[in-house]
Chain A
Amino acid sequence: MGAKVKLQVWRGDAGQGELVDYEVEANEGEVVLDVLHRLQATQAGDLAVRWNCKAGKCGSCSMEINGQPKLACMTRMSLFDPDETITVTPMRTFPVIRDLVTDVSFNFEKARQIPSFTPDPAVGLGEFRMQQVDVQRSQEFRKCIECFLCQNVCHVIRDHEENMPVYAGPRFLMRITELEMHPADTADRREIAQDDFGLGLCNITKCCTEVCPENIHITDNALIPLKERVVTRKYDPLVWLGNKIGRRKSDDTPKVPGKQS
């Protein structure tokens, strides 16, 4: 068996909590999640940790390790100095449920407000024809495993809870770009990207890109191109004039209403 490592783990619930010190065994080749599991199995049976695939594919075990937003299953123990105390805390942007588990329902609410994929109803089953080069752009965004680390790190909401109702965050602005770039989609979400989902609040600091475990170029490939498309739609003088004199009817798809339970 391997050496003992020192951990500080945040324990508590929505009301209050504190960092608790533990010493846990760690073996060669292990990741932080292995050590948390050993902690559960030997010292803290009720330690709440959300995890699922332990393979970096489901995006469940998002947390902050020494203050860095990470997937615990992809963070190797060998990154740390053997004497270092490793601090593990829940994602800060979302409300804590218990210990390392947070309430991420904000994200599912945003997902439900974005108008869905809208193909041309005339295209029959099996009749879509799309080129690889065209689908590839949206495919990059569909690599997203919804770990919500980009949402967690984005300063627009990390330090400003008041922005949450008007800002969808990088993951869902990227979802809008994905649909806008989908070769078979017919809806137009450019106006609502700006007006309802707060694209203007993003000032492209690239924090989201840096923490993405799938290495998606969120800022360069999704957010900036979406901003460019919005500019063409909203601020082009000809389009503006057309709208003004009523010659051009807006064909934007509205944000989806609907109550949350």
Chain B
Amino acid sequence: MTDIERLPYDVVVIGAGGSGLRAAIEARLAGMRTAVISKSLFGKAHTVMAEGGCAAAMGNVNPNDNWMVHFRDTMRGGKFLNNWRMAELHAKESPERVWELEAWGALFDRTKDGKISQRNFGGHEYPRLAHVGDRTGLEMIRTLQQKVVALQQDDAREHGDAEAMIKVFSETTITRLVKDGEAIAGAFGYIRESGKFVLFEAPAVVLATGGIGKTFKVTSNSWEYTGDGHALALLAGAKLLNMEFVQFHPTHMVWPLSVRGLLVTESVRGDGGVLRNSEGKRFMFGYVPDVFRAQYAETEEEADRWYSDPDHNRRPPELLPRDEVARANNAEVKAGRGSPHGGVFLDIASRLPAEEILRRLPSMYHQFKELADVDITKEPMEVGPAQHYVMGGVEVDPDTGESCVPGLFAAGEVSGGMHGSNRLGGNSLSDLLVFGRRAGMGAAEYIGKLGDKRPLAGDGDIAAANAEALAPFERAVGENPYTVHSELQQTMFDLVGIIRTEDEIKTALSELEKLRGRASVVRAEGGTAYNPGWHLALDLRNIVLIAECVAQAALERQESRGGHTRNDYPVMSPEWRKVNLVCSLASDENGERVVLTKQPMPPMREDLLALFDRAELKKYMTDEELPPEPAQLPESAPESPGVVVTESRQGSAVTESRQGSTVAEPRKEVP
């Protein structure tokens, strides 16, 4: 065994993007000695790539907005497969989390009366996304980064050491979680720069590692997105929820090839951009599914009127949830009506004056101009779908972020449930803040309850983690990790991509079986110091494991819903809505295997169910799940002694129970 540095902490947060930093801030505020593990440099995490905004029902632009409308939109976007408690907490707490950022120095774009401005986005009924041009994620990560620095400055004054209470370990990767019996005892990994091994000895670990993009060939995700947290959780005995749901965002650059997958923000459509095929037709009008027909315009005239008069017109179909738009783009290309480089046209040039485009979408202008020689103020963009987000993830308690493994928490993209089968744009940044904070609190509370009885990592486990990490160097012969990775990405994109069928998924699973064998014997050259080939060799274990989870769950779910489209089962099934698919690991003679089980979806709380029209619920739910017909309700209003009437922020009357959960609101008529 090589030298391993041991570093004692209270809370170790793995991941330094939005959710990781927010969790770390909360843990530090609760008095925990906190380590933040960042796979890249501090402030570079994938959160910087988020463009459009952060959804929070502040009601700054349209005062009709409130948490109930946001909750409804989120559930609809996720096709009612969301963990409703998470969707509820998210909708209620997002505004405060955004205001908090402002108090930490964030500078969002403003409304005329000086409040935080909010923009329209797919699936959101009202303008809801706090934003900074098209670089909202950068603003968020920088603000959180600077808040961490501010806390360190406080600690420097108080303890004489800026890193006394919160320290960022940049360019550090965790390869194994270690346990003491059932409970988390620490995290083992390496420091990129030196190649040295470290053991963080800590009773609480918060996973905030983001997504799994590098499982797919065409993705908007960055280098780091190798499903580390998903895999670490599985290996530590936690469960992954609904891994079949993978979001293919509809608009990415398709040309030049080297930037294929580069994100084109949904704000282009939120600000008036429209999708056209090679015949110049605004094709989205032909792709409005039944469940959304009442809310979306049927003619171009009505759709165009909506931008200036949203109260009397229905939304343009370009602003349907992402899964719908991605499938439509895909279908147009397959039908031979695509653009020259295999995408569709996204036109903002004919919709807004050039200076307005430059003001609202500066990064998009820059990106197309520099990389594709396209001036988006003069010509349309060519765009197509790419892997963007994974809805599936670690199953956690909504309130605390704790997984089924004591001491293991998860927040953000690596956690599952919040977004159901499809995430709405803008709900990710708010998710990071709401559940990052909750996981930080949850970890602190857990440690409070532990007292002095801290779990200890066993020497055997540490030695095994060390040997596993060094294994790629021990092999005299072995395959190049880059080759194995590239083939896996191609397999997953081709066979378990945006449109899936049983035969193709089965082929993928047998390919993955072979790739799993090949990945386990790849070889690294050189030494441990900053060696990308070695890093990839270690990441491959995670990528293969997660690919298997996605493929297995995709094979099992025989319906089409959100980010899971089966050509052989094209219909959404109310029976399947009641089922969560859960992946865990089990050992057999061949080592550890992914095991898939079905788990019933807990029924939605009655007061939340009451936020929807029965007719709408009927589109998603089985008859026995529906609330009773209105005629069967008692005639008197449900004014029980436990209910008080309060004023909402916007001044409209809402009914609130003593537990603080709102149970009714004036229902907005859908035109």
Instruction: Say yes or no: A29 contacts B257, CB within 8 Å.
Output: yes
Given A27-B257, A117-B146, A258-B160, A53 contacting B533 (CB threshold 8 A)? no
By a CB distance below 8 angstroms, the chain B residues around A51 are 223
Partner-contacting stretch, out of A97-105, A156-164, A226-234: A97-105
Would you give the shortest CB distance from A234 to chain B, in whole angstroms?
A: 24
Closest to B133 in A: A139
Would you give the shortest CB distance from A111 to chain B, in whole angstroms?
A: 6
Instruction: Say yes or no: B114 contacts A131, CB within 8 Å.
Output: yes
Which one of B107, B138, B162, B526 has the highest number of Cβ atoms from chain A below 10 Å of its Cβ?
B107
Q: In the complex, A99→B44 CA distance in Å?
A: 20
By a CB distance below 8 angstroms, the chain B residues around A145 are 48, 138
Would you give the shortest CB distance from A120 to chain B, in whole angstroms?
A: 10
Q: In the complex, A97→B107 CA distance in Å?
A: 35
Would you give the shortest CB distance from A26 to chain B, in whole angstroms?
A: 9
One of A45, A108, A131, A256 near B110 (C-beta < 8 A): A131
Instruction: Say yes or no: B259 contacts A29, CB within 8 Å.
Output: yes
Instruction: Say yes or no: B114 contacts A130, CB within 8 Å.
Output: yes
Within 8 A of A (CB), among B53-103: 58, 95-96, 99-100, 102-103
Given A74-B371, A145-B138, A260 contacting B95 (CB threshold 8 A)? no
B565 at the interface (CB under 8 A from A): no
B224 at the interface (CB under 8 A from A): yes
B363 at the interface (CB under 8 A from A): yes
Interface size of B by Cβ–Cβ distance < 8 Å?
77
Given A29-B258, A30-B258, A126-B58, A57 contacting B42 (CB threshold 8 A)? no
B667 at the interface (CB under 8 A from A): no
Q: What sequence of 0s and 1s flags, for each residue 351-367 of chain B, a beta carbon within 8 Å of any chain A beta carbon?
A: 00000000000010011
Instruction: Say yes or no: B146 contacts A116, CB within 8 Å.
Output: yes
Instruction: Say yes or no: A30 contacts B256, CB within 8 Å.
Output: yes
Interface size of A by Cβ–Cβ distance < 8 Å?
66
Instruction: Say yes or no: B486 contacts A41, CB within 8 Å.
Output: yes
Would you give the shortest CB distance from A230 to chain B, in whole angstroms?
A: 22
By a CB distance below 8 angstroms, the chain B residues around A260 are 162
By a CB distance below 8 angstroms, the chain A residues around B152 are 112, 258
Would you give the shortest CB distance from A124 to chain B, in whole angstroms?
A: 9
B267 at the interface (CB under 8 A from A): no
- Contact residues of A: prevailing secondary structure: loop
Instruction: Say yes or no: B482 contacts A256, CB within 8 Å.
Output: no
B52 at the interface (CB under 8 A from A): no
By a CB distance below 8 angstroms, the chain B residues around A97 are 193, 529-530
By a CB distance below 8 angstroms, the chain A residues around B524 are 45-46
Instruction: Say yes or no: B530 contacts A48, CB within 8 Å.
Output: yes
B255 at the interface (CB under 8 A from A): yes
Q: In the complex, A10→B481 CA distance in Å?
A: 23
Closest to B263 in A: A55
Q: What sequence of 0s and 1s flags, for each residue 113-135 of chain A, a beta carbon within 8 Å of any chain B beta carbon?
A: 00111010001011011111001
Which one of B58, B139, B150, B263 has the highest number of Cβ atoms from chain A below 10 Å of its Cβ?
B150
Instruction: Say yes or no: B44 contacts A60, CB within 8 Å.
Output: yes
Instruction: Say yes or no: B532 contacts A48, CB within 8 Å.
Output: yes
Would you give the shortest CB distance from B250 to chain A, in whole angstroms?
A: 17
Which one of B104, B115, B153, B263 has the highest number of Cβ atoms from chain A below 10 Å of its Cβ?
B153
Within 8 A of A (CB), among B510-555: 524-527, 529-534
Q: In the complex, A112→B41 CA distance in Å?
A: 15
Between-chain CB contacts (< 8 Å), 7 pairs: A45-B481, A48-B530, A54-B222, A57-B138, A104-B41, A143-B135, A258-B152
A interface residues with partner B (beta carbon < 8 Å): 13, 27-31, 34, 40-42, 45-60, 74, 76, 97-99, 101, 103-104, 108, 111-112, 115-117, 119, 123, 125-126, 128-132, 135, 138-139, 142-143, 145-146, 179, 182, 185, 215, 256-261
Q: Which 10 A-B pairs have the closest CB atoms?
A: A29-B256, A258-B156, A45-B533, A46-B526, A117-B105, A129-B114, A116-B150, A41-B482, A258-B162, A126-B99
